[in-house]
Amino acid sequence: MDLNSIYSQLIMEHNRSGHNKKHLPNPDITEKGHNPSCGDDITLELKLNGDTIEDAAFTGVGCAISQASTSMMIDLIKGNTIEEALKLVEIFLGMIKKEVTNEEELEKLEDAIVLQNISNMPARVKCAVLAWHTLKEALSDV
Amino acid sequence: MDLNSIYSQLIMEHNRSGHNKKHLPNPDITEKGHNPSCGDDITLELKLNGDTIEDAAFTGVGCAISQASTSMMIDLIKGNTIEEALKLVEIFLGMIKKEVTNEEELEKLEDAIVLQNISNMPARVKCAVLAWHTLKEALSDV
Amino acid sequence: MTRINPEIIKKDFPIFNQDIHGRKLVYLDNGATTQKPLQVIEAMAGYNKIAHGNPHRGAHKLSVEATKAYNSSKETVRKFINAKSTEEIIFTRNTTESLNLIAYSYGREFINEGDEILLAISEHHSNILPWQRLAKERKAILKYMYLNAEGRIPLDEIKNKISEKTKLVSVGHMSNVLGTIHPVEEIIHHAHRVGAVVVVDGAQSAPHMKVDVQEMDADFFVFSGHKMLGPMGIGVLYGKKEILEKMSPFLLGGDMIEYVYEQEATFAPLPYRLEAGTQNVEGAVGIKAAMEYLEKIGLDKIEEHEKELTQYALDRMLSLPYIDIIGPKDLEMRGGLISFTIDGIHPHDIATILDSYGVAIRAGHHCTQPLMRFLDLHATSRISFYLYNTKDDVDQFIEGVKNVRKWFGYGS
Amino acid sequence: MTRINPEIIKKDFPIFNQDIHGRKLVYLDNGATTQKPLQVIEAMAGYNKIAHGNPHRGAHKLSVEATKAYNSSKETVRKFINAKSTEEIIFTRNTTESLNLIAYSYGREFINEGDEILLAISEHHSNILPWQRLAKERKAILKYMYLNAEGRIPLDEIKNKISEKTKLVSVGHMSNVLGTIHPVEEIIHHAHRVGAVVVVDGAQSAPHMKVDVQEMDADFFVFSGHKMLGPMGIGVLYGKKEILEKMSPFLLGGDMIEYVYEQEATFAPLPYRLEAGTQNVEGAVGIKAAMEYLEKIGLDKIEEHEKELTQYALDRMLSLPYIDIIGPKDLEMRGGLISFTIDGIHPHDIATILDSYGVAIRAGHHCTQPLMRFLDLHATSRISFYLYNTKDDVDQFIEGVKNVRKWFGYGS
Ligand SMILES: Cc1ncc(COP(=O)(O)O)c(C=O)c1O
Ligand SMILES: Cc1ncc(COP(=O)(O)O)c(C=O)c1O
């Protein structure tokens, strides 16, 4: 496992994650996500415009992986429709489970593709998927 | 372990045990003894004359060891007082636990001394002591 | 089908490298516990030498390796009995704990006053006592199916005893005294028609024949590692997912929770919810190695081999007039264990004297006192085979039996 | 007192013969589970190679040997904690099962409506959940003793919380998060004055210091084999004989009965009554070998060694301003484990990155969510020592921590 390369990118992302870590003024959707075994705990806020995700942000505590994953997800989905965002969630979760391997599909995940080999750190998989499950939950309520 | 020598003597005793295996006409004491883990099950009958054990006999099912041990015990205690019989029980149980090792004491057990090394067959110790515990129980009620 | 060669298999089992009282070991007590091949012993030692850690949630390599080992064992068990998913596989300590778990976590919730729990009279104590306690607690009724003279449960008995009131049937797949293989498919079929749940005690079957829990349609299926070349201290509880999901936890503690507050807690999903505290990873590694060993040889071949030995032993034993076989005298629906009595000699004496000839058998009530009472016996002697037994073992056993008779002064 | 030499001890542990991610293994997760010396691995393999049988009642040599091995292990455990008799030693699967057994077999019988059960807020989930369930079932009240800023239970808290209503106190001897050794003698003294029974969770203490259950006067004392160089899948429940004798059985099944009838059963005497089904003889052999190994080295020396390492580690850690120690900062009444946090870096990231340097530590809530909530923390990182750890291990850990900081872009 090239831990160094995955992890150092994630930490970079994490350290930059500040720009997405905040409250939105008037979120349309607020969804909490928990990871009981780690104690990770995030709150996702979404601002919709029709069925487009106009803005998104998060608050909460968690490790570099969950924070970076959340932040990358937010960068990715901003400006997408709900349908597109849900599709991206499926690609991401598929990538983690090694079910989606098609390069072209994976490239749609942009930076988040760095998490492709997180299954080499099985204890950390849950950290990587927390935000994505939370988003799915949030959007399935719409 | 010289199984052959202990066991063949026990089996001889067992095969001869018929003379003690019967009902007494009017027993003063009838005591049942069980060994749940083997399914052994004996009934001891005692005829007293004052505090002397005038006659004794047994019925029931069990392995050669328990039957032989019972029969040897009966031969031994017949004609003894209750006190003497209880003393013999203590010597016997002491011998089995290797707490009584004094030759002179042990010789009081007569034939039953053959059971001295039964602890080399740990699964069978309970068979050897069943009758003696039953006798103790019977006499402690008097 | 090529036969298995038990002489070659025996070489994998270090236990046979020793003499017992100066004679070669003839091990015929496989119904009680089985011996381990080097492959199992070394798998466990290997785990302890290079990969041991506390699984789950540990971020370091040893913990990750231990988690992998544990999960991969679950997958092996799943395949071994063809369960749908590893969520349906719960590791316990042994068959006994598996049965207690069901009685506690399923029984206390779903058995109510007046409901009937049905067993066969041939059950092992481990498959009787938990239901006795449950019946008492829930004011339910405990009933038994009785056997015919051949030691089988007649179809009529099944039909008569299963009624609308029956809520749970728990039955041994193969009797550890009679060797009978009970018609679990029939029982399950009739039980399901009235909506009852069926527990199959596979302690004596899973080690010796191919089990497919989906085909059998058992709701629960339980067995022990130590009776199938695996280690002691690990057993299996299979349950259908939809049923396990309805059950409350059994043991409570670390690793089976989600959130814990001072006064209450929420529980993790299956299978973790039913596994509390640090799990026996070494045991899981051992049972996996055991199943792999069995599958490499082939359960069909093992069954075939045992049938052959059983036929051979039955033939030899039936030719001795002083031996009584307790259980079916033919091969139909029976496994590789034979209970017997010898005229005039107590089973414990038989076992002790055979031991002096290096022949290990079991004698007693075999944890089936109600069956013994039903058969009007105090005890039996029992031989039970496995893949490493040979015809020569049977011959030595028969020689031994003849000697036992001589010791007691009988002509042979 | 001559010191122990961990470098020599390490040679007994095969796990240290490997590289982790190209570096030597620094194993600092002993609070979760410990590694095994060759002596333990070989004792178990040896048992499986020459003496394995199903113990109890078996008349053949292998069964007799297995029974001897099992009983002799009980005697070793008895001596190890100085119990009065082996009847007071029950083998379980782990600490978790031991605690569940007490809650079930003692609790359900002797805890009644309105009674109080008292724990410390620092308990492991395994010492919380069984009491939550019991309290709910019996309508009893579950109370907690809280800790002061140093992570200790103040004497006043003990006196205030123990009242005439208190019927059972269950307390961890040593906290698996704070390292605090709780004043169990004080607690027992006060609890006994009001007639309450005290359970001591020794999972973290028995492996690391001499325990004398008679001197301590604990009513129950429980621990796990796998945290003291022994195998997984075996744990110990000590109970005072007069208390165990009043308890009803927990698991029901083979080997713990006297007579079984269709509708009821009578039970065997102690300790068998509390041990159902085929016991884990290999596990018993393993825990015996582990205790013998520990005693040969000497628990007093092990404790001394861990104290030295802890002092050394505390000194080094306290010198780094970005590390916060969670728990006592001096050696008084504390054992060899240290929880900490690092400014700006999540415990899980610390553990993962340290792993890449070969340093195995644990991070998370350590199965103590109520304590975490009490401390207002989500998680901590934890290092925990044992006899094979060295100052060099501490140095590597500290180097690792500095690197973790660098990875996150902090100056060191
Ligand atoms: C204090 C304490 N109690 C109980 C346990 C539970 O031990 P086990 O998982 O072996 O049952 C642990 C270990 O995790 C512990 O540290
Ligand atoms: C049919 C049957 N059920 C249950 C058991 C109990 O198995 P264990 O002692 O491994 O729990 C046995 C083995 O003795 C058995 O033969």
For residue range C245-292, list pLDDT tens digits in order: 999 999 999 889 989 999 999 999 999 999 999 999 999 999 999 999
* Residue D254 binned pLDDT confidence (cut-offs 50, 70, 90): confident
CB atoms B121 and C352 under 8 Å: yes
Q: Which residues of D touch A7 (CB under 8 A)?
A: 352-353, 356, 407
Q: Which of D277, D295, D313 is the last residue of a domain?
A: D295
Least confident of C67-71, C205-209, D54-58: D54-58
Tokens of A119: 């299954």
Task: Return d(Cα D225, Cα D237) in angstroms, integer.
Answer: 11
Instruction: Answer yes or no: is C346 within a domain.
Output: yes
Strand intervals (E) in B36-120: 40-49, 52-61
Distance D237 CA to ligand 1 centre (A): 13
Mean pLDDT of chain C: 96
Whether D33 shows a pLDDT value over 60: the answer reads: yes
Q: Is residue B64 less than 8 Å (CB to CB) from chain D?
A: no
In this model, does residue A114 exceed pLDDT 70?
A: yes
Residue-wise pLDDT for D356-383, tens only, equals 999 999 999 999 999 999 999 999 999 9
Residue of D102, D129, D224, D368 with the most ligand 1 atoms within 8 Å of its CB, for mutation: D224
Please provide the average confidence, as pLDDT, over all residues in chain B. Answer: 90
The reply to whether C322 falls in a domain is yes
In chain C, how many domains are there? Answer: 2
- The end-to-end CA distance of chain C, in Å, is 39
Q: Which ligand minimizes its atom distance to the CA of D205?
A: 1
How many residues comprise chain D?
412
D95 lines ligand 1 (CB under 6 A): yes
Contacts of C283 in chain D (CB under 8 A): 232-233
Q: Are residues C204 and C68 in the same domain?
A: yes
What secondary structure letter does DSSP report for D170? E
Nearest to C64 among A34, A37, A123 (CB): A123
Please give the pLDDT value at position B2.
61
Q: Which tokens belong to C248? A: 């409350």
Ligand 2: residues with CB < 6 A are: C 94-96, 124, 126-127, 172, 176, 201, 203-204, 224, 367; D 253-254, 277-278
Domain boundary among D270, D295, D320: D295
Q: Do C268 and C290 reside in the same domain of the chain? A: yes
Looking at the fold, whether C198 and C332 belong to one and the same domain comes out as no
pLDDT band at A3 (very low <50, low <70, confident <90, very high): low
Q: Within this chain, do residues D22 and D69 fall inside the same structural domain, yes or no?
A: no
Domain range for D399 is: 6-30+298-407
C76 shares its domain with C200: yes
Domain that holds residue A21: 3-139
Residue D265 in 3-state DSSP?
strand
Classify strands D220-224 and C23-24 as parallel, antiparallel or unpaired. unpaired
CATH of the domain at B52: 3.90.1010.10
DSSP state of C162: -
Residues D116, D263, single domain; the answer is: yes
* Domain boundary residue, one of C235, C269, C295: C295
Interior/surface letters C167-197, b for 16+ CB within 10 angstroms, e for the rest: bbbbbbbbbbbbbbbbbbeebbebbeeeebb
pLDDT tens, residue by residue, B88-138 = 999 999 999 999 999 999 999 999 999 988 888 888 899 999 999 999 999
Distance from CA of D69 to the nearest CA of B (A): 13
pLDDT-wise least confident of B60-69, D152-161, D286-295: B60-69
C309 contacts C4 by C-beta, under 8 angstroms: no
Q: Minimal CA–CA distance to C274: which of C248, C240, C242?
A: C248
Residue A2 scores a pLDDT above 90:
no
- Which phi and psi (to 5°) does residue D180 adopt? -60, 135
pLDDT band (50, 70, 90) for residue D285: very high
D202 and D111, same domain (yes or no): yes
pTM of the predicted model as reported, rounded to 2 decimal places: 0.95
Confidence tier at A40 by pLDDT (50, 70, 90): confident
Residues D238 and D326 in one domain: no
* Residue C36 counted as domain residue: no
Active site residue D367: yes
Residues 6 or more apart in contact with residue D23 via CB below 8 angstroms: D357, D358
Sign of CA dihedral C304, C309, C310, C315: positive
Q: Is D35 part of any domain?
A: no
Give the pair of three-digit tokens for residue B90.
Answer: 């203590």
Q: How many CB atoms lie within 10 A of CB B92?
A: 29
Q: Which residue has the higher pLDDT, D198 or D52?
A: D198
Expressed in percent and rounded to 5, the helix, strand and coil fractions of chain B are 60, 20, 20
- Ligand 1 atom closest to the CA of D367, numbered from 1: 14
- Contact assessment for residue C40 and residue C12, using Cβ atoms and an 8 Å cutoff: no
Q: For residues D170 and B77, what is the distance between their CA atoms, to the nearest angstrom?
A: 54
Same domain? D394 vs D320: yes
**Counted domains in chain A:** 1
Whether C120 is in a domain gets the answer yes
**Whether A38 contacts chain D with CB within 8 A:** yes
Q: Are both D287 and D356 inside the same structural domain?
A: no
Question: In this structure, are D208 and D319 located in the same domain?
Answer: no
* pLDDT (0 to 100) of residue A1: 43
Which of C158, C367, C394, C401 is labelled catalytic?
C367
Task: Please indicate, yes or no, whether residues C23 and C48 belong to a single structural domain of this protein.
Answer: no
Among D132, D141, D145, which Cα is nearest to D100's? Answer: D132
Please report the pLDDT score of residue B3 as a whole number.
Answer: 66
For ligand 2, the distance from its centroid to the CA atom of residue C220, given in whole angstroms, is 15
The pLDDT value given to residue D1: 60
Position B1 pLDDT exceeds 50: no
What are the helix and strand counts (H, E) for chain B?
5, 3
Give the tokens for residue D57.
Answer: 């009642």
Weakest mean pLDDT among B10-14, B23-27, C308-312: B10-14
Provide the total of helices (H) and of strands (E) in chain D, helices listed first.
15, 17
- What residues of chain D lie within 8 A of the CB of A70, using their CB? none
Number of other CB atoms surrounding residue D217 within 10 Å: 16
Q: What is the ipTM of this complex?
A: 0.94
CA distance B115 to B93: 10
CATH, residue C66:
3.40.640.10
C412 in ligand 1 pocket by Cβ < 6 Å? Answer: no
Is residue C282 one of the residues assigned to a domain?
Answer: yes
Mean pLDDT of C154-176: 98
pLDDT at C298: 97
B124 touches chain D (CB under 8 A): yes
* C302 occurs within a structural domain: yes
At which residue do the structure tokens 């110790």 appear?
A: B125
Please give the pLDDT value at position D190.
Answer: 98
Would you say residue D88 lies in a domain? Answer: yes
The Cα angle at residue C195 between residues C189 and C196, in degrees rounded to 5: 75
Counting beta carbons within 10 angstroms of the beta carbon of residue D324, is it exposed (0 to 12), middle (13 to 18) or buried (19 or more)? middle
Residue A38: pLDDT band (50, 70, 90) is confident
> What is the domain-level CATH number for residue C314?
3.90.1150.10
Question: Is A38 close to D364, i.e. CB distance below 8 A?
Answer: yes
